[in-house]
Amino acid sequence: MDKITTIKFRRDLLNALSEYIISKNKKLYAIYSKDKEAQKDIDDTIEYYEDSIKQTNDDFEKGRYGRISMWYNGTINDISNDFDFLLSHRQQFLDKYDFDLLDLNKKRREKVEKIVASGKIKTDNQYYLIMEYVDDLCQVAEDKELIDKLNEMIIDYEERVAARMAKRKNK
């Protein structure tokens, strides 16, 4: 995908996610009809995601793609693990972008595998990706050896960052 198509894809995916969350919260509203505090929380969530849709569309129209990319990068792991969302929107993105949303998980795994193969976490983004991946692995109690290896890589990265910060502080 070229840059503009990628941004459109991200915009559409974020808007679809927001609409999906709004819809789920509207269903919750009826369940919590007697709980005013819960209804307020639901109202706040709906308002947040309605504003997010407006902001995303406004940013796209004005060519401010950075915020769209930041929000996409910040939510991609949540999106890729929500199979109800992925399946309910899969055909829409296949038709419009020729992209299978189920590949989001595949791309995430490929990134993790590349980091593991290198044996070293090099950036904050890689660090956060590995942290989330370990969290996911721990929830399903998969592959203790991989979890241990990833934890070693996390500790090594944290130690390098701490040493770098201490070095800067001493300057």
The length of the chain, given as a count of residues: 171
Place of tokens 């992925």: 86
Higher pLDDT, 56 or 34: 56
Give me the residue spans of the domains in the chain. Answer: 3-101, 104-170
Mean of the per-residue pLDDT values of the chain:
87
Measuring CA to CA, which residue among 39, 38, 42, 48 is closest to residue 17? 48
Report pLDDT digits (tens) over 131-166: 888 887 776 666 788 889 999 999 999 999 999 999
- The proportion of the chain whose per-residue pLDDT surpasses 90, expressed as a percent, equals 40
Question: Does the pLDDT value for residue 78 go beyond 80?
Answer: no
The pTM for the full model equals 0.63
Q: Per residue in 44-59, pLDDT tens?
A: 999 999 999 999 999 9
**What is residue 141's predicted lDDT score, i.e. its pLDDT?**
64
Contact 153, 121 (CB under 8 A): yes
